[in-house]
Amino acid sequence: MKKDFLHYQAQTSPHPLTLQVSRASGSYIYDENNNAHLDFVAGVSACTLGHCHPKVVDAITKQASEYMHVMVYGEYVQEPAVTYAKFLASLLPPNLETTYLVNSGTEAIEGALKLAKRTTKRHKIIAARNSYHGNTMGSMSVSGAESQKSAYRPLVPGTTFIEFNSDKNLDKITKDTAAVILETIQGGAGFIVPTNNYLQKVRARCTAVGALLILDEIQPGFGRTGKLFAFEHYNCIPDILVIGKGMASGMPVGAFVASNQIMKNLQTNPKLGHITTFGGNPVIAAASLATLQELTTSSLINDTLEKEKLFKKLLKHKYISEIRGKGLMLAVMLINVDITNHVVMHCAKNRLILFWLLFEPKALRISPPLTISNEEISKGCKLILEALDSYKK
């Protein structure tokens, strides 16, 4: 099977991890020999409620037996999508009331950028260095890493980059700017949280010049940072909110949310401002609804901050320089890249799943399911400390 995987399935890196999955449940992924691997990554922040949460599985199964795809986006009234969008609106500030459901995070970013252009009738976008917003041409254009982008140029023109968390370049946001797009917490850059009221300052500047603020919550969203959305920590409300990943607890999804007035710009002149066949898919919407219901009726979101404390208490070692991030979106910074690689590989052998961050090679990614137990956290942290102890220069 691994040989076929490497040959028949397109590869994107020279060194895939090649864990062969037979099933997954809760905080564990089981390999072909039924060994349990403790998952500190959650499909890269996607499996919010752990693997195969019974409520999500039930919702999917029930909806799949009633109807699946019936029509392209936006034509038929399909209860799962409508109920979800209404429920989401009830949990968001009043200006974030109308949701466009799509298939992935990157598509949601594309939709948000298009919407900003249509709304402001401007085309210039400001984004942050070291940002990551996805891998299609538009979202790649507003992502920061030149090393990943240069092979695909020319990309979408009109993008300017500013330094995240720096006040200095805010004057680059002008009356020509359609939108500023930022991750609320920078993910690939190393789980960098906004400091010094940075987001509020960007918000104020956008409002002053009539630019829209797009916040990408694809990674921190859905409770991972101890609030349903990370922007709630920073007193800054975007004009367009972009969500995905953990939204449906393991099913492919994305969405962008704005006021009804802004969203209406996709409806006319020309109509069909964003087209998708599968966006709003009823099975995915049912999984999203089950996830949101569970998050809002349990203590999982609050518990996230206690779990963060436990990780920070347990993960003390001479090779750990710092732990960045918030809630269960943690980047354990090691003193050099060699140690990071050693820990990921050593833990993989000992059946603890860890991963890297895109642009910060010294960081160990810790983004487990929100349902992880304290015992599982302790067990995994012990394995990390053992891996650190076993490192030889």
CB of 242 to ligand PLP, least distance (A): 7
What does the alpha-carbon distance between residue 143 and residue 133 come to, in Å, rounded to a whole number? 6
Residues within window 251-270 making contact with ligand PLP, judged by CB under 6 A: 254
| Strand arrangement, sheet containing 254-258 | 98-102, 254-258, 240-244, 212-216, 177-183, 124-128, 159-162
Q: Ramachandran region of residue 23, left (φ > 0), alpha (ψ -120 to 50) or beta?
A: beta
CA 298 vs. chain centroid, Å, equals 21
Q: Which stretch binds ligand PLP (CB under 6 A): 61-69, 80-88, 129-137, 366-374?
A: 129-137
Question: Which lies closer to ligand PLP via its Cβ, residue 28 or residue 132?
Answer: 132
Helix (H) or strand (E) holding 279: none
Site string for ligand PLP, 216-235 (x = CB under 6 A): x-xx----------------
**Interface with ligand PLP by CB under 6 A: which range of 82-90, 152-160, 161-169, 215-223?**
215-223
Contact range with ligand PLP by CB under 6 A, out of 212-220, 260-268, 311-319, 369-377: 212-220
Applying CB under 6 A, among 117, 133, 203, 365 the residue interacting with ligand PLP is 133
To the nearest whole angstrom, how small is the minimum distance from the Cβ of residue 368 to ligand PLP?
16
Q: Give least dist CB 180 to ligand PLP, A.
A: 15
Which residues ranging from 362 to 391 are in contact with ligand PLP (CB under 6 A)? none
- Pick 105 or 138: Cβ nearer ligand PLP: 105
How many residues at the interface with ligand PLP, by CB under 6 A? Answer: 14
Collapsed DSSP state (helix, strand, coil) of residue 29: strand
Give bridge partners of residue 179 from the DSSP assignment.
125, 212
Identity of the residue, 26 or 254, whose beta carbon is nearer to ligand PLP in the bound complex: 254
- Residues constituting the chain: 393
Per CB under 6 A, which of residues 55..114 are in contact with ligand PLP? 104-106, 109
Q: How near is the Cβ of 220 to ligand PLP at its closest, in Å?
A: 8
* R_g over Cα of the chain: 21
Which DSSP string corresponds to 209-265? HT-EEEEE-TTTTTTTTSSSSGGGGTT---SEEEEEGGGGTSS--EEEEE-HHHHGG
CB-nearer residue toward ligand PLP: 234 or 319: 234
Alpha-carbon distance of 140 to 128, in angstroms, equals 12
Q: Which residue number, 136 or 293, has a Cβ lying nearer to ligand PLP?
A: 136
Q: Which of residues 327-346 bind ligand PLP (CB under 6 A)?
A: none
The secondary element (H helix, E strand) that includes residue 48 is: none
Residue 63 C-beta: closest distance to ligand PLP, Å = 21
**Least spacing, CB of residue 217 vs ligand PLP, in Å:** 8
Whose Cβ is closer to ligand PLP: residue 187's or residue 190's? 187
CA distance linking residue 18 with residue 3, whole number of Å: 10
Sequence-ordered list of residues with C-beta below 8 angstroms from that of 117, at least 6 positions apart, any chain = 123, 178, 179
The site for ligand PLP (CB under 6 A) is made up of 104-106, 109, 132-134, 183, 187, 216, 218-219, 244, 254
